[in-house]
Amino acid sequence: MTEFTTDDIFEALKKPLAVIDNPERQQQIKDYIEAARVNVERSVFDLLAQFAEAVNEEVSAHYAVTLNYKPGVLDLDVKRREVSEPDEDVWSMADGEVEKITIRVPAELKEMAAEAAKKASISANSWFVRQMARSVRSADIDVTVEPKERRRRGRRRGRGGKLSGWVGPEDQE
């Protein structure tokens, strides 16, 4: 962790005051700068935090960058991330038959997924397959059934394959 004090910022703000000929006016501006210190520190932190976030987005596969604020101090923390090996049990296209599906997602979600795939250095399709595999494994779904059986199970056969309607208290006699 690297700490930076904000004193240097305020000294830099006061240096141009040397061009003001009126010592009383100089002092008024110095007083104003000191009075606004907390607000200026916070503004500087917000700006630098946006910068750190932008850097973090670019290097997040390998590093975690955070900026923390304490009055008078900015803490910059850069931590190396452990490089994770791809999940061994994630399906690949070589694991049997490949089927094509079409899904509709909001544009923003598609962009977020494409960005996540880019950060993982894989194609969007591979990213979707990995995420879907993880979700299916973590859900309480029987994934041991053979694919053809799974398809047959979900189909309705002819008319009457589905019941609908309302069963109220008077209908239960």
Please write the tens of the pLDDT for every residue from 131-156: 887 787 777 665 555 555 544 555 44
Buried b or exposed e, range 102-119, using 16+ CB within 10 angstroms: eeeeeeeeeeeeeeebee
Residue 100, pLDDT above cutoff 70 = yes
For residue 87, CA distances in Å to 73, 120, 131, 136, 158 come to: 41, 12, 11, 14, 42
| Closest of 146, 119, 117 to residue 132, by C-alpha | 117
The reply to whether 62 falls in a domain is yes
Rounded CA gap, 74 and 87, in Å? 37
Residue 44, pLDDT above cutoff 80 = yes
Q: What share of the chain is helix, strand, coil (3-state, %, to 5)?
A: 50, 10, 35
Residue 49, pLDDT above cutoff 60 = yes
10 and 71 fall within a common domain = yes
The residue range of the domain holding 138 is 107-154
Number of domains in the chain: 2
The reply to whether 86 falls in a domain is no
67 and 8 fall within a common domain = yes
pTM of the model: 0.41
10 and 64 fall within a common domain = yes
* DSSP three-state, residue 70: strand
The reply to whether 172 falls in a domain is no
Rounded CA gap, 126 and 113, in Å? 11
Q: Which of 5-9, 14-18, 44-48, 79-83 has the lowest mean pLDDT?
A: 79-83
The reply to whether 91 falls in a domain is no
The reply to whether 131 falls in a domain is yes
pLDDT of residue 134: 79
The reply to whether 161 falls in a domain is no
Q: Which residues pair with 5 in a beta bridge?
A: 73
Residue 88, pLDDT above cutoff 60 = no
Query: Mean per-residue pLDDT for 70-82?
Result: 81
Mean pLDDT of the chain, nearest integer: 75
68 and 137 fall within a common domain = no
The last residue of one of the domains, among 40, 65, 80, is: 80
